[in-house]
Structure 1
Amino acid sequence: MDPRRAPEASASPQALAEENARLRRICSALIERVESGGVPHGGPYGAFEHSVLLAEQVRERTETLQRTLAALERSRAEAEAANLSKTRFLAAVSHDLLQPLNAARLFASALEGHRLPDESHRLVGSINRALKDVEALIGSLVDISRLDAGVLRPDVTSFPAEELLGVLAEEYRQVAASRGLELRHVPSGAVITSDLALLARVVRNFLSNAIRYTRHGRILLGCRRRGDGLEIVVGDTGPGIAPAQQRVIFDEFHRLGAGGADDDRGLGLGLAIVERIAGMLGHPLGLASRPGQGSLFSLRVPYGTAPATPQAVGHETPGPLAGARVWVIDNDADIRDGMVALLGGWGCRVTSAATPQRLEGMPPEVLLVDYHLGEGQPDGLAVAGRLRRRYPGLPVVVITANHDAALKARIREAGYACLHKPLKPLRLRVLLGTLLEAQRPRRETR
């Protein structure tokens, strides 16, 4: 037996207890010494404790970050779903809501062309003006919603400035005359590059405001050639705008008092829409005005190159439409009846149907076709393509409430003209006159 282990083997329980107590004191002293040196980075135990604390903080913050990212992902998904729902709603508004308004405008315009007693003619005029106001209000709400949703995309092409300005001058000349104002238009031979429909929206707003706020005098629609583009200007002899108001008039729902009951119909969205469209197109806006000396709004549009083929819309005085054979394809019966009444009042021979299979008779000289022809039916482009193969060179006008840039590009590439709902009768008449004038040699040989 090892003599060094003999005492331990023969130790009494009391001795063992004392030894155990001594060892505990030693351990306690060692732990106390280590802990007393446990300042950050001051010893192994302190370092270990600090590392454990940091690990716990990292774990907690990682969990918080993961929860935040999950919440953001849910919010993003909800926002995308809401945006998609909004886009679908806008599509429904653009088509379904504008359909009855389009039909009502067609009927009212057809009635205005009839010989009616003075009182009846006055009432019809009031109906037409009220429908135009509804169209403007709905159009403003839909436009601002499209811009907010980011679903409005420009369809930029080159076209003669007069293709737009000449038509607008003819359209608003009558409106100005009804207010006792003179509208002067200075034609331009420049070619510009822009989205024709969106640019028209801007210039229409300038003209509408100029007529609304001008009590007497004249309105000017013209252009100035600048080094970096064509400056389209609309001037008036109205009350002018104070310097403090010249910035805020572009804010949403901000309207200047016009001093007339007929002017309290807008939402104050027109110039807000103008500013957003101009920004999207990259066309700088301008405003020069002094109180009591009128206002001049301007928009600078880049120059373009002459298109390979002339565009369909002209600005000449509407030519005679008597005897022109026009086919109308639309799945809405009210729209068809309204088109028959309007075109018939212009002297056209109109054949209308919901589908091309129901059309018969002499070949058409112009085709007016709605783009949306109902669930399960081919769209207007497909229908127009089949009819043009049957009647080569047939002029086609596609009518739609859809302002999608891709659709407008498809219509243009197919060689068709495009009009948006609600139809503006004067624009339709000018377009038909231009298309028929281009077809005159063919018509005379038949």
Structure 2
Amino acid sequence: MSLWRRSLQGLSPLEARIDLQMLQDGWRTSPSSLLGQFLALVALLWIVRDWPLPSWQWLWPSLMLLTLWTAVVRAVRHFRRFGITQSGYSHWRLALLGWHALQSLGWGMLAMALLDVASLEWRLTLVAAVIVYGYTLMLVTVHDWGAAFLGSIPLVLLAAFKLLWAQSPSATYLALVMLLSMTTCQVVSLSISRRLREGLLLRHENADLVLQLREEIDKVTQAKARAEQADQQKSEFFASASHDLRQPLHVLALLSNALRTWVEPQQGRPLLDKMQTALSSLSGMFDKMFDLARLDAQRLDYQPQAQALDAMWHRLDSEFSVLCADKGLRWSLEPTREWVLTDTHVLERILRNLLNNAVRYTEHGEVRLRARARGPWVMCQVWDTGLGIQPQHRHRIFEDYFQASNEGRLSSEGLGLGLAVVRRLSMLGPTPIKVLSRPGRGSVFSVRVPRLVPVASVPTPTPAPAPRPASPPGPTRSPMAPTAPMATAPTPPPGSAQTSQGVVVLVDDDPDVLEGTALVLKQHGWQVAAATTPDSAMDALVTLQAEGQMPEGDMPCALISDHRLGLDINGLDALRQLRYEFGEHLPAYLVTGELSGTLSAQAHHDRVVVLPKPIDVPDLLERLARIRHDLQHDEHLSH
């Protein structure tokens, strides 16, 4: 959809139909953000009520936004009642673009007023909020680049102008970071919008061909092949775009974590925590979308092998006992000694998605995981005492984006892709899913896997589960996230001196990621030899030794490398080269947005830990802290 197109004149009937459909999608999905923006405006005005700011400077932009939102709500009611015809395209198109432009202008004027009196800490928070607004708008209006452009550019330009007008180095730096970040966002948004339109065009073309050539078998077969090719191209695009879309999220996660030491604890930290929660939610949405894309593009292989369920049970127990305790639910896990023939990664991802669904839709009562032997099969079952599923919805719960209990399409309830991922994963192998549910009483999802009986095994009674102490609340993990323990590393106050923890070698071809990761590590006491290539990283390490920041002859404590380096080698090759120089047993971490089974297997063979993008900063710091503790322990024993 062109940014300046105001009518459907001059377009083919198919292109006109697609543009009309995309305009209808814009009016159908964009209003879902109004409630969140209203709450954000109320919270912001509550925070700045005591700031030395004349009331009129924040009052009239706020009134402008409220008036605009009221008009939009009325327009949406009219749209839902009557829809949009081709003759009304121009009016509704201009209304949509004008809405987003005026909304961005209102926020921009409010940002200018606040930046004029804000401290450095609040400027950092407001800039981060502008960036989050731009990325969230990109996700909501991903099908319409014109709305995404007009909805963010006025805000960014006004805020950047105000920062540049301050004529201070820190304000200028913040303005440049904001402009670069939003430029990246707009480039990605334009690429996705074009690909989505091309995909819709191919899909409608194929549908027309099928209708026209229904009586000719050979032509119907050809049309079906083209439809499958179009769908495959769409899936291939999303699967390939995983790295490019995760990269700005990865940078934003690093920068938001680096801001934590500079934000005032009582007022700024809650906003920063909310921003990081929004980033986690956005990352989870991308994970689900790309899981579907990888499955549709057949990039996941089913590799069954003999597995004992008790190890998987232990991993799921350590994660969901915390999630249930955080929500006030009882967590029940029945130990098992069964062996099955399955792909461990596929089965664990199915169960993790089912358990996340059970926790999300259970407000009171219990979530239970158990396994039961049934002849040649083992039934892995997830029970809950949640809302249950209405009979008329039971056949639709595995469809993409279907949510029976989220008619308002609240973003906090996810995208409705969890069970769609489960359905696709179950089709990879002999793992059919069975559902039993009673509305108001709860549901049980059963996954059937082939059972194995170990040779010369002696049946032993299953011990009763030991009583568990109450688990403290913990952070919610994404269904596809690793199950390593997570803890927040201690945060040093700004400007405080720290004893060097050691040296970490960092390799990444993206300057923003390289700078952000190095900044976070340095804030927590690590010396960083950062470069875009392994050879340059070794030179940076020599520079540290020459400057006296690292004793000559010492070795680095850990290696970190991005997977896609834009070189003739990838991240695993870079880590092998660095290990050859510094020691084969040196801990190594590979940061990547490609969570394929082949890459995981290669990393496991090389004893490399894979960290998915966007990176979990507290988890990385905890891993490095454990490495430092082990080194100190070894030094103590040697003395």
**TM norm structure 1:** 0.66
Separation (CA, whole Å) in 2 of partners of 1:129 and 1:325: 30
What pairs with 1:82-161 in structure 2 (closer than 5 Å)? 82=230, 85-86=233-234, 88-109=236-257, 116-154=264-302
1:339 matched to 2:531: no
Report the counterpart of residue 570 of structure 2 in structure 1.
Answer: 379
Report the counterpart of residue 594 of structure 2 in structure 1.
Answer: 402
**Change in 2 beyond 3 A, CA 1:73/1:251:** closer
Report the counterpart of residue 323 of structure 1 in structure 2.
Answer: 501
Give how far 1:380 is off: 0.8
Report the counterpart of residue 272 of structure 1 in structure 2.
Answer: 420
3-state DSSP of counterpart to 1:248: coil
3-state DSSP of counterpart to 1:118: coil
Report the counterpart of residue 364 of structure 1 in structure 2.
Answer: 556
Aligned partner letter, 1:137: M
1:224 matched to 2:371: yes
**Change in 2 beyond 3 A, CA 1:423/1:237:** farther
Report the counterpart of residue 396 of structure 2 in structure 1.
Answer: 248
**Change in 2 beyond 3 A, CA 1:134/1:111:** same
Give how far 1:151 is off: 3.0
- Is the 1:112–1:125 contact (alpha carbons within 8 Å) kept by the matching residues of 2? no
Report the counterpart of residue 612 of structure 2 in structure 1.
Answer: 420
Give how far 1:402 is off: 1.9
User: Which consecutive residues of structure 2, in runs of 5 or more, have no partner in the other structure?
Assistant: 1-215, 455-481, 491-499, 542-549
3-state DSSP of counterpart to 2:244: helix
Give how far 1:248 is off: 2.2
Higher relative contact order (CA 8 A, sep 6+): 1
3-state DSSP of counterpart to 2:586: coil
- Is the 1:250–1:272 contact (alpha carbons within 8 Å) kept by the matching residues of 2? yes
Aligned partner letter, 1:371: H
3-state DSSP of counterpart to 2:530: strand
- Is the 1:212–1:263 contact (alpha carbons within 8 Å) kept by the matching residues of 2? no
Aligned partner letter, 1:413: H
Identical amino acids, percent of aligned pairs:
29
3-state DSSP of counterpart to 2:509: coil
Separation (CA, whole Å) in 2 of partners of 1:406 and 1:394: 23
1:213-270 CA-to-partner distances (Å, cap 9, x unmatched) read 22234434x3425365665444333222234433321122321215998665433222
Report the counterpart of residue 145 of structure 2 in structure 1.
Answer: none
Give how far 1:347 is off: 6.2
- Is the 1:218–1:236 contact (alpha carbons within 8 Å) kept by the matching residues of 2? yes
Separation (CA, whole Å) in 2 of partners of 1:272 and 1:382: 36
What pairs with 1:155-304 in structure 2 (closer than 5 Å)? 166-167=314-315, 169-171=317-319, 175-181=323-329, 183=331, 194-220=342-368, 222-224=369-371, 226=373, 228=376, 231-257=379-405, 265-301=413-449
Separation (CA, whole Å) in 2 of partners of 1:179 and 1:192: 32
Give how far 1:290 is off: 2.3
* Higher alpha-carbon deviation: 95-104 or 413-422: 413-422
Separation (CA, whole Å) in 1 of partners of 2:347 and 2:559: 26
Report the counterpart of residue 580 of structure 2 in structure 1.
Answer: 389
- Is the 1:152–1:403 contact (alpha carbons within 8 Å) kept by the matching residues of 2? no
Report the counterpart of residue 352 of structure 1 in structure 2.
Answer: 530
**Change in 2 beyond 3 A, CA 1:72/1:241:** closer
User: Which consecutive residues of structure 1, in runs of 5 or more, have no partner in the other structure?
Assistant: 1-66, 307-312
Give how far 1:427 is off: 5.7
Separation (CA, whole Å) in 2 of partners of 1:231 and 1:245: 24
1:333-357 CA-to-partner distances (Å, cap 9, x unmatched) read 3333443455566665554332222
Aligned partner letter, 1:387: L
Aligned-pair RMSD on alpha carbons? Answer: 4.4
**Change in 2 beyond 3 A, CA 1:388/1:199:** farther
1:85-140 CA-to-partner distances (Å, cap 9, x unmatched) read 44652343111011111222344456568885233222122212222222222222
Separation (CA, whole Å) in 1 of partners of 2:340 and 2:439: 33
- Is the 1:314–1:430 contact (alpha carbons within 8 Å) kept by the matching residues of 2? no
3-state DSSP of counterpart to 2:560: strand
**TM norm structure 2:** 0.48
Give how far 1:187 is off: 6.5
- Is the 1:155–1:409 contact (alpha carbons within 8 Å) kept by the matching residues of 2? no
* Higher alpha-carbon deviation: 85-94 or 277-286: 85-94
Larger radius of gyration: 1
- Is the 2:260–2:269 contact (alpha carbons within 8 Å) kept by the matching residues of 1? yes
Residue correspondences, number: 371
Report the counterpart of residue 125 of structure 2 in structure 1.
Answer: none
Separation (CA, whole Å) in 1 of partners of 2:486 and 2:288: 29
Which structure: greater helix fraction?
2
